Structures are given as C-alpha cells and as structure tokens.
Amino acid sequence: MKFCPNCHLTYDDSANVCGQCGGPLSVIPQQVQQQVAYDPTDHTAEFSAQDISDNKVFAMLPYLMSFIGVIIALLAAPSSPFTMFHVRQGLKVAVVEILVGIVGAIIPIIGWFALGICMIILLVVEIICFFRVCKGQAKEAPIVKNLGFLK
C-alpha cells in the first residue's frame, strides 16, 4: 500500500503518483497498514464527540450492571446514539449470559464446567467493552459480535 503525504490518500502498490495532486507516493510500512486498516466493527466515527463525552457514564452502565444498567441508560440518555449503541452491545452480552446459563445448567457436570468458562469469557468481554467506553470508543463487543442479533 502507498500513500500521498500531501493529501493523505491511500493507493495500491501499482500507483506511482497521487491522483489528487500528482505528487510522488510513499510506501506505508506493514505495521502501520494494519493500524490504518478499516475496522468494520468500530463505529466510533459515527458518533459526535459531544455525545461521547456527555454520555460516557451512561454508556458504561450496561456492561457494569447488565439489565439494570440497560434500563438506567435507556431512562437517562434515550436521545444519545452513543449510549444506545452500548445499550445494544450490553444487552447482547446479557442475553448470551442467560442463554449460556440455561444451556449450561441443564447439562450436568460438562455443562456446568463449560458454563464457568463461558461466564469468565463473557466477563472479560464486558471488561474490554467497559474500557473502550472509557476511551470514548464505540466498537462491537468481541466474540459476541459474531452472533447475528441486535446489531
């Protein structure tokens, strides 16, 4: 991948000059490319900085308090798209917890063991999401995002 230092546009390796300004292109190092790479699960750019800074506290609640946090967030910041994004993500994690809980509980021993592992994984997912809210990000919850409901 190459980029134009003037226009910050990216081109593939076959390009020699910038289509915008005609200037020479620089090669982007491999590590930088991975950071620049578009992340389809990162929706941070869709929300305003004002919304994020005003409603961060409410956006954290679904991850901290599960369904209770979802309800508080819905009541406290219903007009905040940033909060609603995290309400959907938090709800997703909470629903998965319940489903895992039900399935795990009805299968003796193996189910209980699997349940324990799943709950630890889901807790880690919630912690990751919580810190992302702290940083003002709106990324889909890891692992849980692959389940195709509540986009």
Using CB under 5 A as the criterion, which residues of the chain lie in contact with Zn ion when the complex forms?
4, 6-7, 18, 20-21, 23
Place of tokens 């992340």: 39
Q: Are the beta carbons of 67 and 96 closer than 8 angstroms?
A: no
Alpha helices per DSSP H over 77-109? 81-106
Nearer to Zn ion, 5 or 116 (CB): 5
The distance of closest approach from Cβ of residue 24 to Zn ion in the complex, given in angstroms and rounded to an integer, is 9
Q: Are the beta carbons of 27 and 2 closer than 8 angstroms?
A: yes
Nearer to Zn ion, 6 or 48 (CB): 6
Count other C-beta atoms under 10 Å from residue 30's C-beta.
8
The distance of closest approach from Cβ of residue 28 to Zn ion in the complex, given in angstroms and rounded to an integer, is 14
Nearer to Zn ion, 10 or 44 (CB): 10
User: Element (H or E) spanning 57, and its range?
Assistant: helix 49-76
Exposed/middle/buried for residue 88 (C-beta within 10 Å: 0-12, 13-18, 19+): middle
Using CB atoms, what's the residue nearest to Zn ion? 18
Nearer to Zn ion, 10 or 137 (CB): 10
The distance of closest approach from Cβ of residue 15 to Zn ion in the complex, given in angstroms and rounded to an integer, is 11
Q: Are the beta carbons of 11 and 19 closer than 8 angstroms?
A: yes
The distance of closest approach from Cβ of residue 39 to Zn ion in the complex, given in angstroms and rounded to an integer, is 25
Nearer to Zn ion, 8 or 151 (CB): 8
The distance of closest approach from Cβ of residue 6 to Zn ion in the complex, given in angstroms and rounded to an integer, is 4
> What single-letter amino acid sits at 121?
I
